[in-house]
Structure 1
């Protein structure tokens, strides 16, 4: 999770407008005023983050329950925020936000699970949660975890917040068939970099949001060519990313299949070269710790 502002001019990561900016950017950007912002958390299953404060604006990414955000401004139903997880800046629905406390204690490990008003699967579900959502558990109620909100979730669909799933390629395999969604980062819809970010997060590895940011910020580059690859290697194109499942098979969320799909790397490379993103730009390997 990010706790400082990067020295960058990337508008995706810079909480600065002509009228308002993060106070930590004073002296680096010009704005009419500077504010520290207010710590909040996402209090709904998922919320769209958009580049502009309009409900018909394109989806840049998604925040999910428990995600920490800094709120700089609220106007006409939209909050201008920075996501703590990856530093992304944009507009969330104001109604999606709750207080920053209490802090989460658990995360969802199932692809999806339901929220119930009580510890009984026969009760009408109050909503769903996606893989990676963060929850504040206060007590065990039989097979259910009672949350600080008063709702309940099936306990074995959750784990303590510090629990990780190191085989992030295995997490990706669980998501095969998930529909492709530009800007998506939930188990209901994913884009290519959203898949990578979600699976690395489950392994306890913080990752940037977009493919170009991931290519610059994750792992070490391998020599050119498609030989000697192994499970977990990241394959990048200009605007696309996928994960290797072994020496020859790639898993990626893509617009050709409109889903998370597995295919031979050579097939994907040939099709992408001809139809979309051009040649592979790099292949990167994460260290055992996930650090660059």
Structure 2
């Protein structure tokens, strides 16, 4: 007979659990059933960005992205894909093997421009190797003229970067810089963002740890406000079931969304009325971070 006072542990979030029936993190031995357990190997993303997929095959669903400089725990490499966990938010999935490199050297700089280019030489006339987005982390070995030299003789325009401890405390202002960025499911870069990717990037650059998905953010971030609040202010978070946006002031919301297919600003009343008629439904919560700035004016969403 089951002990009525015993409660089963909450199920693990599969998005954050490095475990499959055949393989799991050695730290989960005894907690997650698997045929074998392995200790992860440290690595780092050396590509400008790479999709983190649910399955190790091209065309599989993309849950999020890793960006240059992201630290990664690698559990298995097979058939061109690595089974990994991203260190910064714990997300688990499959990255292209070719996107990974050694964990060292660690990043020394971050990109502060919305976008910049990765060059094969310190020369703006050379065809670029790819784009780097806002927040990408770079291990600069030295500087040649106006360019930072990265491992593999790759170069980035130094004035587009700052030291790795650079912060942009006004996270709502960071989000405003990204207005017009195309909507991309799973996107985490200034080339394409989804709703929670916008919030995560803005908070990350402010030095505020942030989970990846909207439901995780709703549980983890800030302090709950009454839904009928009269004191919405810049930096407050607005959540729906599977969607999130940031307040720019007591009236205006900024969010990456599929209606505009971009990062867009609109009155919260307008967005809430439209979204209420979709599968996301009504606003589920409002939350305030300690760092939010009180601008004075109040507003309601009723």
Give your verdict on TM over 0.5.
yes
Matches within 5 A, 1:12-161: 12-161=15-164
Instruction: Identify which of 206, 211, 216 aligns with 2:214.
Output: 211
**1:253 corresponds to which residue?**
256
| SS at structure 1 position matched to 2:84 | strand
**1:4 corresponds to which residue?**
none
Give a deviation string over 1:169-222, Cα, whole Å, max 9, x none.
111111101111111111111100000001111111110000000000011101
| SS at structure 1 position matched to 2:235 | coil
Displacement of 1:275 after TM fit?
A: 2.3
State the structure with more CA Rg: 2
Give a deviation string over 1:117-146, Cα, whole Å, max 9, x none.
222211221211111111011222222222
What is the rounded CA distance, in whole Å, between the counterparts of 2:81 and 2:150 in structure 1?
A: 27
Structure 2, unpaired ranges of 5+: 1-9, 293-302
Structure 1, unpaired ranges of 5+: 1-6
| SS at structure 2 position matched to 1:173 | helix
Q: CA contact under 8 A between 1:48 and 1:61: conserved in structure 2?
A: yes
Displacement of 1:226 after TM fit?
A: 4.7
**2:169 corresponds to which residue?**
166
Is 2:179 the partner of 1:187?
Answer: no
What is the rounded CA distance, in whole Å, between the counterparts of 1:171 and 1:114 in structure 2?
A: 20
Displacement of 1:288 after TM fit?
A: 2.5
Give a deviation string over 1:43-71, Cα, whole Å, max 9, x none.
10000001111211111000011101000
**What stretches of structure 1 move > 3 A for 4+ residues in a row?**
none
What is the rounded CA distance, in whole Å, between the counterparts of 1:16 and 1:255 in structure 2?
A: 32
**1:239 corresponds to which residue?**
242
| SS at structure 2 position matched to 1:95 | helix
Displacement of 1:254 after TM fit?
A: 0.3
What is the rounded CA distance, in whole Å, between the counterparts of 2:207 and 2:37 in structure 1?
A: 33
Aligned length: 284
Q: CA contact under 8 A between 1:114 and 1:125: conserved in structure 2?
A: yes
Give a deviation string over 1:228-285, Cα, whole Å, max 9, x none.
1111100000100000000000000000001000000000000000123111111111
